[in-house]
Amino acid sequence: MGGEPDPDLAREAIEYCYEQGWTDGLPVVPVSQPLLDRFLAHTARDPAEVLWRMDHLGRECTVRTAAINAAMAGCLPEYFPLVLAAWDAVMRDRAAKGGGWQSTSGPAPLIVINGPIRGELEINCTGGIFAAGFRPNATIPRALGLMLRNAFGVAPHVFDQTTQGIPGRWAICFGENEEESPWEPLATEMGLAPGASAVSCTLTRTYEFVDNRHTQDPEQLLNDFADTLGRTGSLIFRGQSAGVVFCPEHAQMLANAGYSKSDVKDWFIEHVGRTEADLRRAGKDAVSEGGPGARSASESERAPADAFTPYFTGRKDVPIIVAGARNAAISMVFRVFGEWSNSSVPIETVRSPVAATKGA
Amino acid sequence: MICSDAFITTADAMAEVRGAPGYRYLTTPHPVAGLSAEQVRERAEGIAAEVAAMLTARKAA
């Protein structure tokens, strides 16, 4: 086949996809059987394998359906093992299994990639990790969103009950900047072999930057983070899980001052929280018995105004990642929607994709 | 079943995928989450007759 592709034909196919209700509002890539076969050739998994079943909706997503949606999202076929691993990783999250995808919170999957696959697929790990501009970063999380919509029927206004949602809900995916991080990669911390290509994923609720180019004192810097990590607005239960995507400059400053990743987590465990007066002012000072301890406004004072409530119960509640450019001391605080599985999923690699015959 | 009225669309869609289109349920004004125990009691009193009517109608059916 030679010559330029026909844009009118392409548009016709794109409009057809809109008419079927297959898109998230942006155009999708129309998928032919040969394109689907190329995706399936990148995994050893059976196209008929059920990735996940939502029993209450009576719907499931197979490897084949995932491949169609990854292709529609604009992924290249070689991204497909990563899409599958990202799905597996997020579904280790208790909240994702328990109906989190349909929550009024509209949580966003945060997808973090480690290992050599970052270079092989040209995944952005440095400048603009939360911004657009890189194909795998933009299309891999979009694939998960399309799987939710098209395989499970979880679309806004019906089964997706999102009140407002999170900006960039289906666009948060980046590689860890291992090369400029002073600490071990996230996947290594989670127990995988050093150098493994892996993905870690959890559902998240908010993102808020910490811009601190103002101090060389690590305690002052950590206090600035603690203030943002300790917001009351996002506090629903007794405690909450929140993490930091440190820019290399902040991470290096802390490491140079002698802080390991665990030291930073331990500092946050001790210092992130609010006083009784703060919680009372926000109408969140009472905690119900049992379960996760839902918060509400109490009718009378429960504790001295200066009593301190820490939010985190252990290192598992404070994920730390290093990513972004080394050009400024700007990091991002994020809040975990429920509870991160604290694990990473190795990415399957099919070095020589098998002949594109599967799933035909 | 009693559903707050912000979730009617979802409840109807849910009934449909579970093979029970048109499934009847009662509604109460949204929101519910922030109500005090006394306000919840008032809501319950307000809807009790409808609950009884629905339960007995189903029994008779």
The 10s digit of each residue's pLDDT in B11-32 is: 999 999 999 999 999 999 999 8
Q: How far is it, in rounded angstroms, from Cα A193 to Cα A350? A: 19
Burial of A155-183, coded b for 16+ CB within 10 Å and e otherwise, reads eeebbbbbeebbeebbbbbbbbbbebbbb
For an interface test with A, the pick among B4, B14, B16 (most A C-beta atoms closer than 10 Å) comes out as B14
Give pLDDT, residue B36. Answer: 85
Q: How far is it, in rounded angstroms, from Cα A160 to Cα A144? A: 14
Q: Are residues B17 and A58, on separate chains, in Cβ contact within 8 Å?
A: yes
**DSSP letter string over A250-308?**
HHHHHHHTT--HHHHHHHHHHH-EEEHHHHHHTT--EE-SSTT--EE--SS--S-TT-E
Q: Are A170 and A145 in contact (CB under 8 A)?
A: yes
Which chain A residues are Cβ-neighbours of B16 within 8 angstroms? Answer: none
CA A57 to mean position of chain CA atoms: 24
CA of B33, closest CA in chain A: separation in Å?
A: 10
ipTM, 2 dp: 0.78
Report, as ranges of residue numbers, the positions in chain A whose pLDDT lies below 50.
Answer: 356-360
List residues of A whose CB lies inside 8 A of any B CB: 56-59, 153, 157-159, 161
**Strand, coil or helix: A107:** coil
**Strand pairing partners for A158?**
none
Please give the residue range of the domain that contains residue B31: 2-60
Burial of A95-131, coded b for 16+ CB within 10 Å and e otherwise, reads bbeeebbbbebbbbbbbbbbbebbeebebbbbeebbe
Q: How far is it, in rounded angstroms, from Cα A139 to Cα A156? A: 20
Closest CA to A191 of A342, A78, A2, A19: A342
**Strand pairing partners for B4?**
B28
Q: Where do we find the tokens 């949580």? A: A107
Q: Are residues A153 and B17, on separate chains, in Cβ contact within 8 Å?
A: yes
Which chain A residues are Cβ-neighbours of B35 within 8 angstroms? Answer: none
CA of A312, closest CA in chain B: separation in Å?
A: 25
Model's pTM, two decimal places?
Answer: 0.93
Q: Write phi, then psi, for A139 (nearest 5 degrees).
A: -95, -30
Q: Are residues A158 and B9, on separate chains, in Cβ contact within 8 Å?
A: yes
Q: Are residues B14 and A157, on separate chains, in Cβ contact within 8 Å?
A: no
Give pLDDT, residue A360. Answer: 37
Cis peptide before B31 (omega within 30 of 0): yes
Q: How far is it, in rounded angstroms, from Cα A32 to Cα A208? A: 40
Q: How far is it, in rounded angstroms, from Cα B21 to Cα A19? A: 25
Looking at per-residue pLDDT, the higher value among B33 and A118 belongs to: A118
Nearest CB to A161; choose among B7, B17, B18: B7
Predicted confidence (pLDDT) at residue B1 exceeds the cutoff of 60 = yes
How many angstroms separate the Cα of A97 from the Cα of each of A85, A115, A177, A234?
A: 16, 27, 29, 21
For an interface test with A, the pick among B9, B14, B17, B36 (most A C-beta atoms closer than 10 Å) comes out as B17
Give pLDDT, residue A353. Answer: 63
> What ranges in chain A are assigned the alpha helix state H?
7-19, 33-40, 63-73, 80-90, 94-97, 117-120, 135-152, 186-189, 218-229, 248-256, 261-271, 276-281
Give pLDDT, residue B59. Answer: 53
Closest CA to A210 of A335, A333, A323: A333
User: Which residues have a Cβ under 8 Å from the Cβ of B52 and sit 6 or more positions away?
Assistant: none
Q: Are residues A159 and B7, on separate chains, in Cβ contact within 8 Å?
A: no
Which chain A residues are Cβ-neighbours of B33 within 8 angstroms? Answer: none
Amino acid, res. A199: V
Q: Are A41 and A80 in contact (CB under 8 A)?
A: no
For residue B37, count CB atoms less than 10 angstroms from its CB and return exposed for 0-12, middle for 13-18, buried for 19 or more.
exposed
Nearest CB to B10; choose among A58, A59, A158: A158
Q: Are residues A159 and B10, on separate chains, in Cβ contact within 8 Å?
A: yes
Residue of chain B whose alpha carbon sits nearest to that of A102: B10
A177 half-sphere exposure, CB direction, 13 A CA radius: 23
Element of type H or E holding B56: helix B37-60
Domain count, chain B: 1
